[in-house]
Chain A
Amino acid sequence: MEFLLQPLTLLTFFPLLGVLVILFMNSEWKNAIRWTALVTSLVTFGISLWTLTQFDASNPDLQLEAKYAWIHVAGWNIYYYLAVDGLSILLVLLTAFLTPISILSTWTAVEDRVKDFMVFFLLLEVGMTGVFLAQDLFLFYIFWEFTLVPMYFLIGLWGGPRRIYAAVKFFLYTMAGSILMLVAILFLGIKTDTFNVPTMLARLPDLYASGIIDPKTQMLLFIAFAAAFAIKVPMWPLHSWLPDAHVEAPTAGSVILAGVLLKMGTYGFLRFNIQLFPNATVQAAPWIALLATIGIIYGAAVSYAQADVKKLVAYSSVSHLGFVMLGMFALNAQGVSGAILQMINHGLSTGALFLLVGMVYEQTHTREIKVYGGLWKIMPVFGTIMLISALSSMGLPGLNGFVGEFTILLGAFGSKAIGNPWYAGISAIGVIMAAVYILYMFQKMFLGPAGDVTHHHELRDLNWREIVTAVPLIVFMFWIGLYPAPFFNLIAPAVEKLLSALPL
């Protein structure tokens, strides 16, 4: 019992309870299944808030530890070890927050195999929460790989016409990255004789100092971890799975994919690359900044060229995540805390955009920008919510995106690790480009004369359920945009601790 009542254990595995209940339900009871899933995810969100109340923001260390010996045999010291700190608390909350929203968005969108859908969705939540909480590399790897399975089914079963291609590509692409990480994890595990991250962190400096792990090996390990995370983020040029996965995935899948799964990549850099390989991190920072900058510009440019609105939002993720990477590898307090906040922002605003695109797609079954037009007149509520999300995504002051991007650019300008203000300078152009493609999209779809689809469809404005789905996101966009201090306060001590360990 003591094991189950740990807040973090409960938070991670509570959705499994919902899975069990749903498994015993008749697949014809669609509404009952939906409600069970929704209630489960809401309770999970409640648990995450309870976790937040237990969390001490002034403490930079890992907290609320749940730690038990799991596999202890020859050559293995594996712990079941969950803990949370300032680096992960917001991401955990984001996961628990976005899951009920996504489930609510599927209410009428998913009619086929509702039971399987909800089972996979709740399993996905378990995997994602586990990734953010695991403090043992073996446990982390298990959660990390496990998230692939339900997402693969979500894309492959409820996706668009090319869903099988997209699902397999997603699976193989991501797995290709993680297998190199597996080798690196094993190597580290052997050298430090533990998989437990805090213990590993305590032992690594000696190994580096004594040359048991030489700088070249450290760099190779860094690259092996980075390969897994960079694919997930995705960083240019490893992004090609993302548009396919996003376009084919069902709406809820896209929301979670953009909102949480991509953050697993950036979080991985933060938690593992930067902490485990400090020297390599400093060495690699300019290169990562370069790739991030290319990603920002490339993502924005390609977004503008898209005819499919979902693809546009998908490529905008490449651009936004470029900002996150740039800020993180600025390796100063502003950059890193901006990056963490921007992870949340991206989850909120891009999540909202996917959600909204899904809502209109449900009515019209097309995502081509040019067939829309004049939507605002018919769907004013939808238009307003879309406008706020779009402005949040492009970083308008007063909304969340601005706070994140501004802090990141500030960090990147003054970054010693990047060593060159030009990266930040060029990236700033990305902000302008974002305004271009976002406003272009908004103008084509919502303003002007009615397009083909708008003309020929009996379009209705959002119903109550859809408004309830979208409003929480809007609330947070304003909250972070107007008063970000509480969020920064959660992050700051942990970021400081993270940076103090770097040889800068």
Chain B
Amino acid sequence: MTQTDFSTLLPLTILTTWACVLLLVDLFIPKDSKGVTAFLSALGLSVALGFSITQIGFTGTGFNGMVILDGFSIFANLLILTGGLLGIALAYGYIKRMGIERGEYYTLLLFSVAGMMLMAQAADLIVVFLALEMLSIPLYVLAAFARPNLQSEEAGVKYFLLGAFATGFIVYGTALVFGATGSTSFDVILAFASNETPSLLLTIGAALLLVGFGFKVAAVPFHMWTPDVYQGAPTSVTAFMSSGAKIAGFAALLRVFATAFPSLSVDMTDILWALAALTMIVGNVTAISQTNIKRMLAYSSIAHAGYMLMAFVPYGNKDVMPISIVAGLFYLVAYVVTNFGSWGVVIALEKAEGRGLEIADFAGLAKKYPALAAAMTVFMLSFIGFPPTLGMIGKFYLFRAAIAGGYSGLAIIGVVTSLVSAYYYLRVVVNMYMREGDPVVEREFWLNFTTAVTAIATVALSFVPQWLFLMASQAVLK
């Protein structure tokens, strides 16, 4: 191990070390001031974020080509670390209020963030597996964090069982790929696959990997766990999980398929096409009938996984792939920002024992809390893909990439399902503005702060999306 090995993983190393230290430090922090742990965790994330920014422009590999540092991984890391910070900001008041404030929450979150970052930097299937476990196991625990609340425990167990199952697919897929090519390194797989005629073994291996990642990003038909887990888990965990796990899952999917299996695109494109179409349709249509906001947002997050999958469909097409990846990454940013914001509003309304989570509970919000209602409206519009929001720019670019790749049919499915989604997102707006009610809302600084920042970002970035596009273009995989 040399210095360069570590410098490629610098933010990750800092974060992991900090998380280990924090585990010990937390023992000495009195029970009633666990907020200190939150701030220390946020500090760790900020430092890692700072170092991650200094890495911009650098490339390199480390640990004998097991991990890679490039524009793509830096972009993903920045997004993941920001997500971690938002996750802590949302959790800070919430877990205190729900009576589940324990220091482990924050350290688990840090470990999970570290796993996600490793996922984005992986250049070898073994590292992918390692990262997957590192990000998932803390999430299993976090999902069940509200023990002995039955729903939360159920969420934890369900997520664990299905997550373990998914991991099994990935391990098996890795084994088959290794069997076919003799290596787990992306470079070797790529070289092998482009020289030899593609073997059935390799194709099956890649397909199994796709199934595994499909579970992680909640793509239909591997989405069954999502609504229950998202509903049962503490809301702050759901917010973090639905953003972070998706970033990591998509980063890995993109990396694995674009750098290791471009030669399989003949077989994979149709499968990805169907996966994207199904995910958009099932996610959006099922969301219509939900009355619980957490379940609705869960289905909406499934639907958005479908939109992001659209960006993968033309991954074998050399001309379109760069645009497509930029579109996918941009949409990921739009989704993450909007998603954290909307969960923030949900958290503000949630009461103990899972009350305050029906969509009907939003009635009258606009009259009592106009700013909060306005923020939620922005998030809903962004999810629909309406101007002036980031979601609109993201969808526009995403559909453009799909059409440029020759998949107009998929783009049409995309716009039609967006129309369907308008129906259920608008229902939230209708309740907030047009029905009478008397909601009570938690006013807590970090929560308000997160909601405000994400709402402003959703609108403001839609006017100046240029730099974000440029950053995403830097992140295009070679």
Contact = CB atoms under 8 A, between A and B. Distances in A.
A164 B435 CA distance: 9
Contacts of B401: 75
B404 A71 contact: no
Contacts of A149: 381, 386
B150 interface: no
Interface in B403-442: 403-404, 408, 411-412, 415-416, 418-419, 422-423, 426, 430, 433-435
B322 interface: yes
Given A163-B434, A172-B423, A75 B400 contact: yes
A333 B426 CA distance: 44
A153 to B, nearest CB: 7
Interface in A97-153: 113, 116, 138, 141-143, 145-146, 148-149, 152-153
B415 A182 contact: yes
A168 B433 contact: no
B469 interface: yes
Interface stretch (A88-96, A185-193, A359-367, A447-455): A185-193
B372 to A, nearest CB: 14
Contact of A164 (B322, B392, B434): B434
A146 B388 contact: yes
B465 interface: yes
B473 interface: yes
B386 to A, nearest CB: 6
A175 B423 CA distance: 11
Contacts of B408: 183, 187
Nearest to B325: A74
A202 to B, nearest CB: 21
B191 interface: no
B354 interface: no
A145 B386 contact: yes
B197 interface: no
B397 interface: yes
A189 B396 CA distance: 11
Interface string A66-83: 000011111110000000
B434 A179 contact: no
In this complex, which of A73, A141, A157, A164 has the most chain B Cβ atoms within 10 angstroms of its Cβ?
Answer: A73
B434 A156 contact: yes
B466 interface: yes
Contact of A76 (B370, B399, B411, B469): B469
Nearest to B377: A149
A482 interface: no
B470 interface: yes
Given A71-B465, A145-B386, A156-B433, A175 B422 contact: yes
Chief secondary structure at chain B's binding surface: helix
B418 to A, nearest CB: 6
B114 interface: no
Given A149-B381, A164-B434, A171-B426, A74 B473 contact: yes
Given A74-B322, A74-B323, A187-B403, A176 B419 contact: yes
Contacts of A186: 396, 399-400, 403, 411
Nearest to A145: B387
B469 A73 contact: yes
A89 to B, nearest CB: 25
Given A168-B426, A168-B430, A186-B399, A175 B419 contact: yes
A180 interface: yes
A116 B430 CA distance: 15
A182 B387 contact: no
Interface string A419-445: 000000000000000000000000000
A172 B412 CA distance: 16
Contacts of A190: 400, 403-404
Nearest to B415: A179
A167 interface: yes
A172 B422 contact: yes
A138 B473 contact: no
Contacts of A182: 396, 399, 415
Nearest to B404: A190
Nearest to B467: A73
A266 B412 CA distance: 25
B469 A71 contact: yes
A73 B325 CA distance: 13
Nearest to B397: A76
B473 A73 contact: yes
Nearest to A113: B367
Nearest to A182: B415
Interface in A176-216: 176, 179-180, 182-183, 186-187, 189-190
A142 B387 contact: yes
Contacts of B416: 179
A171 B422 contact: yes
A116 B374 CA distance: 11
Interface string B290-319: 000000000000000000000000000000
B393 to A, nearest CB: 8
B430 A179 contact: no
Contacts of B418: 179
B326 interface: yes
Contacts of B411: 183, 186
Contacts of A142: 387-388, 392
Contacts of B426: 152, 168, 171-172
A164 B430 contact: yes
Interface in A40-94: 70-76
Contacts of B433: 153, 156-157
Contacts of A189: 400
Given A73-B466, A182-B399, 13 more contacts: A73-B470, A75-B323, A75-B400, A138-B396, A142-B387, A143-B387, A145-B387, A146-B387, A156-B430, A156-B434, A157-B433, A171-B422, A183-B408
20 contacts: A70-B466, A71-B466, A73-B466, A74-B326, A75-B404, A76-B397, A76-B400, A142-B387, A148-B386, A149-B386, A156-B433, A163-B434, A164-B430, A168-B430, A175-B419, A175-B422, A179-B418, A179-B419, A183-B408, A186-B400
- Interface pairs A-B: 7 shortest CB-CB: A179-B415, A73-B469, A142-B387, A75-B323, A186-B400, A146-B387, A156-B434
